Amino acid sequence: MAIERVFTQPGPEEERYLTSLRPQRLDECIGQETVRQQLRIALEAALKRGEPLDHVLLDGPPGLGKTTLAHVIGNEMEATVRLTSGPAIARQGDLMMMLTQMDTGDVLFIDEVHRLAKVVEEFLYPALEDFRVDYTTESGIGGRTVNFALKRFTLVGATTRAGMLSGALRDRFGLLLHLEYYTESELVRIVRRSADLLKIKAEQTALERLAGRSRGTPRIVNRLLRRVRDYAEVRGNGALTPAVVDAALDILQVDKLGLDSLDRGYLHALMKHYDGGPAGIEAIAATMGHERDTLEDVVEPYLLQIGFVIRTPRGRVARPAAYEHLGLSPSKRAKDEPGLFE
């Protein structure tokens, strides 16, 4: 389904588009006031001492700006940023190659850091603490271990599942920063900045409509802006009006709360196949024909945020607001669920 591309990981072409809209400095960032204050103090202190920044862990749902902040840190420290991800580092040698290429003050950004292999994670510990690694050159009886000294660098780890990080890894980060969903007013400022950069004429009300359907996520508001711009150029005069935004998002099947066909499919599966729950995530994923990770990382965070779904020890349960939004009547089982409709 085309709409899934709006709310899931962007492809290479769209990633380039989003990269062009990223703020480069901390002063250009909008929202996340607490995170920005903590980061500003840490950056200024590190620059004053002439030292690399402490290791930073950024956690929060996808699309809130973790990669952007990693680049901002690099720009503020005037350092090179090297990008990788947890699943891409399969062996100690992969990580060793990157670490030995780091210069003093460089930033190593590891996305999905919670997915590092255990053997790689343990290999990383002395690099984070003492800036050294013990690397075995060959396996077997002829192998030997060599101690490599590393230049002081900053690790920026990003995760959508902070609970899956081991305590040992989490403790090695000096700064633990949690990113929250953005308010609608913050998203309006973000999409106004993006529209100005792209030289798109847009009415304020039209940008407010976009922000209201963007699930509190800058990545989504910028991707929707691109889709609506295309619609405005083909079906209108290129300017964004409330009517143009509504028409374009209707085609994309994004409703007034920002739910798409995948979100609604999740709710329909929970309500119709499992009488509103409780239902396990594996069962819902099997019913929909989607991966469990997709539902947990892409769909559920926002549904939990707006109170459409709750997690209980027995599984997921649909809340009354979800039934009302979809225009469905709660099943008898859902009505009988203790405390659910009180």
Name the residues annotated as catalytic: 66-67, 111, 160, 219
Where do the DSSP E strands lie in the chain? 56-59, 81-85, 107-111, 132-136, 145-149, 154-159, 175-178, 309-312, 315-318
Computed on alpha carbons and rounded to an integer, the radius of gyration of the chain in Å comes to 23
Q: What is the DSSP string of 301-320?
A: HHHHHTTSEEEETTEEEE-H
Please report, for residues 16, 81, 170, 175, the alpha-carbon distance to residue 88 in angstroms, rounded to integers and kept in the order given: 20, 17, 20, 24
- φ, ψ of residue 309 in degrees (nearest 5): -140, 145
Structure-block tokens of residue 196: 């100005």
Measure the N-to-C terminal CA separation of the chain; round to a whole number of Å. 37
What element of type H or E holds 124?
helix 118-129
- φ, ψ of residue 331 in degrees (nearest 5): -70, 165
Structure-block tokens of residue 143: 């192998």
Q: What is the DSSP string of 246-276?
A: HHHHHHTT--TTS--HHHHHHHHIIIIISTT
Q: From CA 191, how far away is CA 224, in angstroms rounded?
A: 10
